A and B are shown apart, each in its own frame.
Chain A
Amino acid sequence: EAQVTQNPRYLITVTGKKLTVTCSQNMNHEYMSWYRQDPGLGLRQIYYSMNVEVTDKGDVPEGYKVSRKEKRNFPLILESPSPNQTSLYFCASSYTPQGQPQHFGDGTRLSIL
């Protein structure tokens, strides 16, 4: 089954404790992206990658890191999480390098205390 898999689905952690949210796709897609979804704000793009070893900033990259060492994986790293990063995070992928259409994972809900 074609899918984008995120782990963990839920995480409660504390300020400053480094965490990684993994994202993996099994569709051999070139493009991958991370978004955060906050009530009343819609989805905002954090980082995206159009190919292996190529990453670019979206609207809200501050406090996040990404890497794209292999095609199928695109982890999101929070080096020193803060409460304002409490949010619902989505990973997406696309077979076109332009990034459309996008297939989304089912989300990771992060709570940072």
Chain B
Amino acid sequence: QQQVKQSPQSLIVQKGGISIINCAYENTAFDYFPWYQQFPGKGPALLIAIRPDVSEKKEGRFTISFNKSAKQFSLHIMDSQPGDSATYFCAARGSTLGRLYFGRGTQLTVWP
């Protein structure tokens, strides 16, 4: 059973556009929601994260929007660049310490 559902599976965006990736979860005990970015041949790297008591967090061109009542959160990449082309994973930390549940990933391609 997929604990975190991520969409879309792939996304193509023009340079300068906005990329939006969505995730949803059911378990209200999840207490930390990170996003990871992965380039080919590399391990995932933490991009940005949010806690459920905050509705939005912004770091540079990357913003997480969090809707606790809907149990959804999303990643927005403003002014998308070709260098942003990568696979993005949302995740959620479980109520059991040390458990982390990942979405299935979104492959983002930014065309120049």
Contact = CB atoms under 8 A, between A and B. Distances in A.
A90 B45 CA distance: 12
Interface string A77-113: 0000000000000101000011111111111000000
Contacts of B9: 40
A48 B98 contact: yes
Interface of B, helix, strand, loop or mixed by DSSP: loop
B104 interface: yes
B43 A42 contact: no
Contact of A99 (B42, B45, B93): B93
B107 to A, nearest CB: 10
B99 A45 contact: yes
A102 B93 CA distance: 11
Interface residues of A, number: 28
Contacts of A104: 43-45
19 contacts: A31-B98, A42-B6, A42-B103, A43-B44, A43-B89, A43-B102, A45-B99, A45-B101, A48-B99, A97-B97, A97-B98, A98-B98, A99-B100, A100-B32, A100-B100, A101-B34, A102-B100, A104-B45, A106-B43
Interface of B: 6, 9, 32, 34, 41-46, 49, 89, 93, 96-105
